Structure 1
Amino acid sequence: MNEMDRKQLNTTIYRISLVPLLSLLVAPLDSQAHKRSEPDNERETKRANILIILTDDQGYGDLSCHGNPVLRTPNLDHLHSQAVRLTEFHVSGISTPTRSQLLTGVDNLRNRACQWGYGLEFMRRDIPTMAEIFSSTGYRTGLFGKWHLGDIFPHRPGDRGFQESVRFGGASIQQTPDHWDSDGFDDFYWHNDVWKQYKGYCTDIFFDEAMRFMRECHRNDMPFLAFIPTGAVHDPCFVDNKYRKPYMKIKFRGQPLPENVHSYFGMVSNLDMNIGRLEKFLKAEGLRENTIMIFMSDNGGVQGVPIYDAGMSGTKGSLLEGGHRQTCFIRWPAGKLRQAGDVGGLTQIQDLLPTLLDLTCTGMSRQVKFDGISLAPLLRGQDQDLGHRMLVVQWGWGAKGQGTVLWQHWRLTGGKDGWQLHNLENDPYQKTDVLADHPYIAARMQEQYETWWRDIEPALGLYECPHIGDPKADPLTLTCFDYISHKFLRKGYFNVCLQSCVRKGVGVHGKWRLHAVSAGNYQISLRRWPAEADAAITAGLPLQELTDPYPEDLPDRRLWYDTPQVGVALPIVSAKVRLGEKLQTAVVGRDDKVVSFVFSLPSAGDVELETWFFDIHGEEICSAPYVEIKKLQTGTTF
């Protein structure tokens, strides 16, 4: 984000002062000023703990309490029976935008973490996060699982307010920001930005670490914000066979369940088991009563949808109802909330941060505005009219008209062929376009979209990027996950964010956008393989040995991202780097694990980085999937 852009938005954005907390941010269209809804006894509820569980790719229908005819989730069903349940709750259609909206209370196109990768998963740093807000008011903050909002400084959990974190890299295991050759068992995870190996299964570990964190906070008399964004049930669907086997025996509509569903439902079963463990822990530690517990998932379902779609069309990534309508269970026994049960009215994930500020009586010296509103009155059983609300669900690169407008039971959905209007009351699967029959309804909703678009449009040109040269993160490692643009050098499509793509030696050329915090000399080191693989640039690697044996004979590739791959050797003999307008080339030796260059940057500021690996004929093979950048000390010779 450049200085001119910041000045243009100064009328609507206020930088947070973390100690003490002063004010928050954006005053978008139709947002409501945050007004505290006082509980009966502020002193008793002021220091309530907060526990948020956000599962990954678990659809609305992937719970037995929502009617799934095959899957069994007894512990989630029990939580369902005890919670206030927002039945018209909406998230984004994919992972990162949902997470950024949860943590900022601001629409993803405004906070700019609006896509799952390629440099668009970074939240704007002038918008404070939930963790920054609560940590500044005395809460201990921790994250355990999936971050997916940037693995590079200054966008890591610790850079954005989480005082402790245990997490994998990227959007799932086996992506390039993650530790090499992870498979969900005995993996390495970032613990406060240092790789550490943990014994056990990924979901179990994240719950273990979260419970340890909560126990330590409680015993030190510190309120906590514990965030458990699980990697489950995102693929690859590795899981212990004991959770998979029950579903291998089940028939649905007279046919065995598809192989991929065995593992998918097995992962949900393991997740449910951990919810049960968590519940026992909260009771044993005396934390259950005064902990605000929220359970939800990040987008529509995936592999379970063909078994049960919960009466909706659309899956993950869809603008249809099934792509963004989600579960939201809220429980707080000591908080004097309304009786457990279903509560209607359009709500969205952007509402949760202002709601939590209200419920915990987090004091601020100014009125606060978000894209979401506080639902505290609704949760306390007070009248809160949501019938007038119109919401917009949109994410991605920010193409106008590529969103959906929600109003009561109406859905106005945009696409390449224009707008369509659906009435969920008599058309829950959104099969019939009734726009011509209800022009007034459509016009009102289109007007809302146009107004919303004008309001968020100034933010669309803003961006965040990795910072180089800062002592807090030097050296810094880039991966192809954050190419801001890329092209394939040979025919075919590949997901360049996957470790399997690196193993295949896919010909892809990409570049990064960086921000140098200061002038000076920078060493740029190119790798074909990550440092922990300890392999030469030209070398091949053996097939990964997977802990979960089940996929070996499975023909259905939906179980994981790709078939297991041998790491192919590449005939690389030279490399080239462009930093800004400067170019350098170097020879790559047969045994070289890294090839390094030194560039001098005359000033701080934004700069592009581009890399090439060439064969003996001067033909490009690919860009470097991994790059390490280190600022050299003054006086360093080279």
Structure 2
Amino acid sequence: MNIMKLALLSLSMLLVSADTSLAVEERPNVIIIMSDDQGVGDYGFMGNQVIRTPALDAMHARSGFLSKFYVSPVCAPTRASLMTGRYNYRTRCVDTYLGRAMMDPDEVTLAECLRDAGYQTGIYGKWHMGDNYPMRAMDQGFQDSLVHRGGGIGQPSDPIGAEGKYTDPVLFKNGREVPMKGYCTDIYFDAAMEFISSSTEAGDPFFAYIATNAPHGPFDDVPHKLYEEYRNTDLSSLLVSPLPEKRREEEFDKLARIAAMITNIDENVARLFSRLDELDITKNTIVIYLNDNGPNSMRYVGDMRGMKTHVDDGGIRSPLLFHWPLKVEPGATSSKLCAHIDVFPTILDACNVPIPTSGKIDGRSFLSLLTDEDANWPTRQVVFQAHRGNVPQPLNHFAIHEDPWKLVHPSGFGNERIKGDAKLELYNLEKDPRQLHDVAAVHPEITNRLTKAYEAWFADVSSTREDNFAPPRIVIGTEHETATVLTRQDWRHASGEAWAKESNGDWLLNASDSGKYEFEIILDSDQHPAGTATVAAGNLVDHFEIIAGQQRGHRTTLSLPKGDVNLSIELTLGEKSMGPHQVVVTRL
């Protein structure tokens, strides 16, 4: 943590301690549960007649509910906004991989604010904003951390020998690689409940962030009994458009697997509430449930259209359940426009913790919407934008909302640059929630006004800091992470398809001090011929042999100067050239 960030947090905590009304024992506990790729329509209380979510349906009945709550179209941007109360474009987290899911370590997180206000803090599951120091969850305010790397299990960031394992995964406990037993979602909830119990026994308020990687793919390892149940269930009502017969069986099998993962989450929510009841802390524990983006297939999203990666409403909507029996009446509902950026200030408001002064907070507390029938909520504009690429591009794949209007350019998540003029679409969501009738030509004054508002927003978030969209650097050679594992999740892609076997890239590093560093090169398997490796770190270059049939143990050392350095490694194996699967960097 830099000196300025530490000073601002210290000042905030002095303000807290000076207010005698903020007794720690009176503060609510906080639990945020966020699923991965569960869509807005994947709940019984949202009209789904197939996927069983009885615990969440019951939670909905006794909770506050935001019926017009928005998130980003993909996961890492939502997580950055959730943790900071800021648009993700302010945080340097702009995409989901290739080094662009890393959040700037100077960002002040919800975990840091609550930790410094006397809370115990824990995260269980998916972080997805940096796998290495200083961007790990444990570097950003979480005192207890049990997470997987990257954007999900089954990606190139998996530990060697544990690739794609939802059952008996290898996870990272406070930075240490630990083999686990059980299904990943069950493991996260078990660990969270253990943390909750120990915090409660110690008399400490707690913040538990349970972020499942389910129902994100891969789908080959799912709860078996639930899968068998859904495999024998008619899932046709989940389809939003007809499929040819040859594709129906495959799609229904995928839906059965997704449904099994969702119901498994629901069963764990039931277990969690039982534990809160056993500990007699349910009344003053805030439990929030939401999903991180739209569904990971074209399936039921109620009266909307769209899926994950889309900026249409089906791709950026989530229910927001807010369970706090002490303050929020069952059935308290608001249809005001709210979003992921609002969770951070809402929790700090509920916990009587001051908003940090280190940067602009874009969200606003929605607590009064659930506790005060006469709450003032001025009309606002909220923007959602995410697309592939190194630098965000204006007008590309965005939506700006101002009730009841939605101005959108759904140009596609995979496109970094727009070719030609952007054709903007305008919808009145109150009359046309499915976005079937573009009225931009009918209301040019609204189209122009919202376009100017979007352009002002883009200029604002883009100027948050100097060189705002430069990727953060991984810091090597510190006591905080003695061995740094570099994966394709965070390399800057240079050639080939991003994660293809014969692709390559480089890593942006910062050597904490000058000295000798060892580089161990790991290949994706032991099925390869002999070859050579060329390691380049800044102006330093080394060549050495790669032994045939050996996955890891290929090592060399370089003496690095202190400061920024770009690391690239090219392997020549037979007639093929490629980058390494992973690299372990250790300061000697």
Pairwise CA distance, 1:65: 1.0
For 1:208, the equivalent position in structure 2 comes to: 190
Amino acid paired to 1:141: T
For 1:612, the equivalent position in structure 2 comes to: 570
Pairwise CA distance, 1:383: 3.1
Pairwise CA distance, 1:340: 2.1
- TM-score, normalised to structure 1, is 0.82
Moved more, 312-321 or 246-255: 246-255
Are positions 1:596 and 2:555 aligned together? yes
Q: Please give the residue correspondences for 1:356-435 in structure 2 after superposition, counting only pairs within 5 Å.
A: 356-363=347-354, 369-386=360-377, 388-396=379-387, 397-402=391-396, 403-414=398-409, 415=411, 416=418, 417-435=422-440
User: Which sections of structure 1, spanning at least 5 residues, go unmatched?
Assistant: 7-12, 25-34, 530-534, 540-568, 633-638
- TM-score, normalised to structure 2, is 0.89
Q: Please give the residue correspondences for 1:31-42 in structure 2 after superposition, counting only pairs within 5 Å.
A: none
> C-alpha distance in 1, partners of 2:13/2:404?
35
Are positions 1:524 and 2:519 aligned together? yes
Pairwise CA distance, 1:21: 4.7
Moved more, 313-322 or 389-398: 389-398
| Number of aligned positions between the proteins | 552
Pairwise CA distance, 1:572: 3.6
Q: Please give the residue correspondences for 1:68-79 in structure 2 after superposition, counting only pairs within 5 Å.
A: 68-79=48-59
Amino acid paired to 1:629: V
Q: Deviations over 1:542-591 (max 9, x none)?
A: xxxxxxxxxxxxxxxxxxxxxxxxxxx22241111111122211122235
Q: Does the Cα contact within 8 Å between 1:23 and 1:368 map onto a contact in 2?
A: no
Amino acid paired to 1:302: N
- Percent of matched pairs sharing the same residue: 32
> C-alpha distance in 1, partners of 2:440/2:392?
24
For 1:622, the equivalent position in structure 2 comes to: 578
Q: Does the Cα contact within 8 Å between 1:146 and 1:169 map onto a contact in 2?
A: yes
> C-alpha distance in 1, partners of 2:323/2:334?
13
Cα 1:359–1:405 shift into 2, 3 Å: same
Q: Does the Cα contact within 8 Å between 1:211 and 1:278 map onto a contact in 2?
A: yes
Amino acid paired to 2:493: S
Q: Deviations over 1:182-224 (max 9, x none)?
A: 4211222111111112211111111111000000000000000
Moved more, 583-592 or 253-262: 253-262
Matched residue SS, 1:627: strand
> C-alpha distance in 2, partners of 1:158/1:469?
17
> C-alpha distance in 2, partners of 1:162/1:250?
41
User: Which sections of structure 2, spanning at least 5 residues, go unmatched?
Assistant: 238-247, 412-417
2:181 to 187, 194, 199: 199
Amino acid paired to 2:206: F
> C-alpha distance in 1, partners of 2:155/2:584?
17
Moved more, 607-616 or 361-370: 361-370
> C-alpha distance in 2, partners of 1:18/1:200?
42
For 2:505, the equivalent position in structure 1 comes to: 510
Pairwise CA distance, 1:249: 1.9
Q: Please give the residue correspondences for 1:270-309 in structure 2 after superposition, counting only pairs within 5 Å.
A: 270-303=264-297, 305-306=298-299, 308-309=300-301
> C-alpha distance in 1, partners of 2:514/2:191?
40
For 1:80, the equivalent position in structure 2 comes to: 60
For 1:470, the equivalent position in structure 2 comes to: 478
Q: Deviations over 1:263-287 (max 9, x none)?
A: 1101111111111111111111111
Amino acid paired to 1:309: V
> C-alpha distance in 1, partners of 2:351/2:401?
29
Pairwise CA distance, 1:605: 1.9
Moved more, 336-345 or 159-168: 336-345
Q: Does the Cα contact within 8 Å between 1:139 and 1:223 map onto a contact in 2?
A: yes
2:448 to 431, 443, 446: 443
> C-alpha distance in 1, partners of 2:317/2:149?
26
1:245 to 228, 245, 268: 228
Pairwise CA distance, 1:126: 1.8
> C-alpha distance in 1, partners of 2:356/2:43?
42
Q: Does the Cα contact within 8 Å between 1:108 and 1:395 map onto a contact in 2?
A: no
Pairwise CA distance, 1:363: 4.3
Q: Does the Cα contact within 8 Å between 1:17 and 1:23 map onto a contact in 2?
A: no
Q: Deviations over 1:114-164 (max 9, x none)?
A: 211111112112221111111111100000111111111111111111000
Moved more, 383-392 or 509-518: 383-392
> C-alpha distance in 2, partners of 1:123/1:44?
30
Amino acid paired to 1:471: E
Matched residue SS, 2:82: helix
> C-alpha distance in 1, partners of 2:474/2:357?
32
Moved more, 506-515 or 172-181: 172-181
Q: Does the Cα contact within 8 Å between 1:523 and 1:631 map onto a contact in 2?
A: yes
> C-alpha distance in 1, partners of 2:460/2:356?
26
Amino acid paired to 2:166: G
Moved more, 126-135 or 369-378: 369-378
> C-alpha distance in 2, partners of 1:424/1:143?
36
Amino acid paired to 1:172: G
> C-alpha distance in 2, partners of 1:392/1:171?
23
> C-alpha distance in 1, partners of 2:393/2:462?
10
Q: Does the Cα contact within 8 Å between 2:5 and 2:358 map onto a contact in 1?
A: no
For 1:17, the equivalent position in structure 2 comes to: 7
Cα 1:103–1:83 shift into 2, 3 Å: same
Are positions 1:313 and 2:305 aligned together? yes
For 1:67, the equivalent position in structure 2 comes to: 47
> C-alpha distance in 2, partners of 1:198/1:90?
34
For 2:116, the equivalent position in structure 1 comes to: 136
Pairwise CA distance, 1:15: 2.4
CA RMSD between the two structures? 2.5
Pairwise CA distance, 1:462: 3.5
Q: Does the Cα contact within 8 Å between 2:170 and 2:180 map onto a contact in 1?
A: yes
Q: Deviations over 1:593-612 (max 9, x none)?
A: 3322222223x222111111
Q: Deviations over 1:40-60 (max 9, x none)?
A: x86598421001000110001
Matched residue SS, 1:102: helix
Moved more, 423-432 or 119-128: 423-432
Pairwise CA distance, 1:342: 2.5
> C-alpha distance in 1, partners of 2:106/2:357?
17
Pairwise CA distance, 1:16: 4.3
Amino acid paired to 2:269: I
Q: Deviations over 1:319-363 (max 9, x none)?
A: 1111111110001111x2255232111101111111111111114
Are positions 1:166 and 2:125 aligned together? no
1:351 to 331, 342, 345: 342
Are positions 1:482 and 2:490 aligned together? yes
For 1:549, the equivalent position in structure 2 comes to: none
> C-alpha distance in 1, partners of 2:139/2:477?
15
Pairwise CA distance, 1:253: 5.0
Pairwise CA distance, 1:486: 2.8
> C-alpha distance in 1, partners of 2:26/2:580?
51
> C-alpha distance in 2, partners of 1:74/1:294?
16
> C-alpha distance in 2, partners of 1:364/1:428?
34
